[in-house]
Structure 1
Amino acid sequence: MIPYLSKEQVSAALPYASLIPALRVAFTQEISAPKRHAHSLSEEDNSTLLLMPVWQKQGHLGIKLVTVAPHNRDLPSVHAVFVLFDAQSGAPLALMDGEELTLRRTAAASALASSFASRNDSQHLLLVGNGSLAPHIAVAHCHTRAISNITIWGRSAEKSAVAAAKIRQHPECPADIHIHITEDLPTACGQADMISCVTTSQTPIVLGQHVRSGTHLDLVGGFKPDMREVDDALMRRATVFVDTYAGAMAEAGDLTQTLENGSLMRSAIVAELAELCAGTHAGRQDSQDITVFKSVGTAIEDLCAANLAWESWQKAAS
């Protein structure tokens, strides 16, 4: 019977202080991560099944199985499991809670990208969205920038209050952080140094007219061509970084729609994480640039996180 690593075990094994630098190394390694398989389960409620395989010749292989159900009310919208195998023998090694693994690796990737794309002096983070990923995003960003203020906007003030409490209670959150809840999104956008959008919206929420020069935008939520978190006006002004060209340019509506309508030029998409981590692109070039990091998720991140969790489990079991 292979071991099962629970949410709590995965969480303990993946502190951001370890996961973010591990991801930086992983993006420079030879890891095969084919484009994920996405299957629509129901167009009526926009539910999806995702299959994400990944492998490294000298090491491990794995696959993450993910269901996305945006209509959920009392349950998270995302459920997932990750299965880790030995790459040489093909033998299964462990089954892991994929939801916690996904939350942490997604947040860590955003923080890693911010270390290249946001201004060094960024201190004010705006969270657009208040779901289960939002607190992780906030805490992870605190590990690469000296965030002192976090503002949360969401359609439900009650859910925003829950998200704020989770951030405050997070053991990796700075003790002196100031957290605010707002209903005035335009004003909040104009005051933020960094804006993380963590929604599954199909229409733009953050508008270019409200975003000041020098802001970094972290677009995490949209993972299909019909999803949008920012408008054409913002993308027209942006220098864009992506997690992977193959994934983001095929699946991210904030890119596919704006490339198609001409508000975003292909030349404005300047680097993917592998190039940033390898040092072949320096990241932000000007303090006044509006930068965008668009992620749709890559199994490279999953395997990196699963390897850390497996190592932690082995140490605990020995």
Structure 2
Amino acid sequence: MSLPFITFTDADLKLNWLDLISSLESGHKLPKAKVHDVFMNQDKNNILSRHAWIEGLGIAVKTATIFPENTTHSQINGLLTLYSHNNGMPEALIDFKLVTKWKTAGDSLLGASKLARTDSNKILINGAGNVARSMVEAYAALFPNAVFTICNRTEDKAKKLIKEMSRSYNLNLGGELKHEVPKADIIASGTMAEEPIFDGTWFRPGQHIDLIGAYKANMREVDDKTLLRSRIFVDSRDTTIEHIGELKIPLANGIIQESNIIADFYDENKNYVRKSNEEITLFKNGGGAHLDLMTGKYILDTCS
């Protein structure tokens, strides 16, 4: 048996952000995914396997190895394996970094397509790594006239990103977050912060907040005031509420209740909407394995 192996170089330029979010939307109309994560470590090295099974779509196992001292090659490596929903036979191997790029940004873009004001054109990206790069690409597909402001703790990294992407996108260097946040229509943040870096008083009515960075139980990017001022949405309750500090901590402290989380992508579309131009909407990107499966199937279908 010969399996197709789809690399980043093979597929990245063939994919389309708007087609992806259409596929993600369709995937959430199928029966709810079963997901499970397995984590192992030995000394400083780690392996994480994320499993998803969606009836009518298929099965995916995404495995990543994290070897911090691997300075010769990439410290993070992995593959997504897709299996048929009909007979369980392997269908394809897909590069981990390709799936992660398109899954992460596509998840947030689907949220923004439902929650951000359609006239949004000033987008603040907090961060200057690979996630920031993909968020510029994704948001520009949905908001083609967007002007991006790049903020980063290390200014040189922000300047480097702007230099590399400025031929294709309208990018500017930002200053302090507290001064840049009020100017933006959309604020997207993908940092490794463990303590809140955004103050709820900085936001103004009508904005959309896209939180990508926090992925562990001790991590947060926004403070309690931000949550209390916002209508809160997630991609999946199952992969966010009990797992990510952005919501887990304020829920445990009684700052918000689960009822404050209005909808996830499995809810009816009528619940997942902006109700006025004045409200602040907040989306928490949890990036569960079910999204890896949906994205992997989109990549396979596009490249076949």
What TM-score do the two structures reach when normalised by structure 1? 0.86
Superposed displacement of residue 194, structure 1: 0.7
Unaligned runs of 5+ in 1: 170-174
Match of 1:253 in 2: 245
Unaligned runs of 5+ in 2: none
Match of 1:27 in 2: 28
Find the aligned partners of 1:271 and 1:124 in 2 and give their Cα distance: 26
Superposed displacement of residue 39, structure 1: 4.9
- Aligned in 2, Cα 1:78/1:248: closer, same or farther, shift over 3 Å? farther
Pick from 197, 200, 207: which aligns with 2:199? 207
Determine if contact 2:263/2:272 at 8 Å carries over to the other structure: no
Find the aligned partners of 1:164 and 1:294 in 2 and give their Cα distance: 26
Aligned length: 303
Determine if contact 2:8/2:95 at 8 Å carries over to the other structure: yes
Match of 1:115 in 2: 113
Indicate the SS of the match to 2:195. coil
Q: Runs of at least 4 residues of structure 1 off by over 6 A?
A: 69-77
Pick from 121, 124, 141: which aligns with 2:122? 124
Indicate the SS of the match to 1:133. helix
1:92-112, Cα deviation, whole Å (9 max, x unpaired): 222110111111121111111
Superposed displacement of residue 77, structure 1: 6.9
Determine if contact 2:36/2:52 at 8 Å carries over to the other structure: no
Which stretch of structure 1 is more off in the superposition, 8-17 or 219-228? Answer: 8-17
Find the aligned partners of 2:193 and 2:5 in 1 and give their Cα distance: 33
Superposed displacement of residue 48, structure 1: 5.6
The reply to whether residue 187 of structure 1 matches residue 163 of structure 2 is: no
1:201-222, Cα deviation, whole Å (9 max, x unpaired): 1111111121212211100111
Pick from 279, 285, 297: which aligns with 1:289? 279
Determine if contact 2:198/2:223 at 8 Å carries over to the other structure: yes
Superposed displacement of residue 191, structure 1: 0.8
Pick from 124, 140, 159: which aligns with 1:142? 140
How much identity, in percent, do the aligned residues show? 25
Find the aligned partners of 1:253 and 1:184 in 2 and give their Cα distance: 24
CA RMSD in angstroms, aligned pairs only:
2.5
Matches within 5 A, 1:1-318: 1-39=2-40, 49-67=47-65, 78-168=76-166, 175=168, 177-275=169-267, 278-314=268-304
What TM-score do the two structures reach when normalised by structure 2? 0.90
Determine if contact 2:35/2:290 at 8 Å carries over to the other structure: no
